[in-house]
């Protein structure tokens, strides 16, 4: 079964590059450029993995991940940021991915997270 990933990032270049790379790796990828439309996508069809940017206008990636987990307990959430990770208690529900993204580290984290 193919792992389904929803990527949410307000940076079009990042969104395009990540979606292309992950599709080449065999993932089924859907994308969204903003958190609120992403919530609608999450409600319509829960992905296996949410990969989201942290800093976006409508809400943070951590907040989006909290919503995703509250509605779909099995979704694995990964938050990407160029900023330092918040305290472990604030981000215990996600895997933090530092930007600039190390592609090999991202693929390893996704593979591990997709397995549960």
Q: Which domain holds residue 45?
A: 4-115
Is the pLDDT score of 5 beyond 80?
yes
Identify the three-state secondary structure at position 95: strand
User: Which pair of structure tokens corresponds to residue 9?
Assistant: 């990032």
pLDDT digits (tens, 9 = 90+) for 18-32: 999 999 999 999 999
Residue 50 CB neighbours (<10 A): 26
Q: Is 2 helix (H, G, I), strand (E, B) or coil?
A: coil
pLDDT class for 6, splitting at 50, 70, 90?
very high
pLDDT tens for each residue of 60-113: 999 999 999 999 988 999 999 999 988 988 888 899 999 999 999 999 988 886
Please state the pTM of the whole predicted model. Answer: 0.93
- Number of domains within the chain: 1
What's the CATH number where 43 sits?
3.40.50.2300
Spatial distance between the Cα atoms of 11 and 14, rounded to a whole number of angstroms: 5
């Amino acid at each position: 079964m193919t792992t389904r990933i929803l990527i949410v990032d307000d940076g079009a270049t990042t969104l395009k590059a990540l979606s292309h790379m992950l599709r080449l790796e065999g993932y089924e990828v859907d994308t969204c450029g903003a958190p609120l439309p992403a919530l609608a996508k999450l409600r319509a069809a829960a992905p296996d993995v949410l990969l989201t940017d942290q800093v976006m206008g409508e809400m943070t990636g951590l907040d989006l991940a909290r919503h995703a987990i509250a509605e779909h307990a099995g979704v694995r959430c990964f938050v990407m940021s160029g900023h330092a990770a918040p305290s472990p208690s604030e981000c215990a529900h996600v895997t933090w991915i530092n930007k600039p993204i190390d592609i090999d580290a991202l693929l390893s984290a996704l593979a591990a997270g997709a397995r549960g």
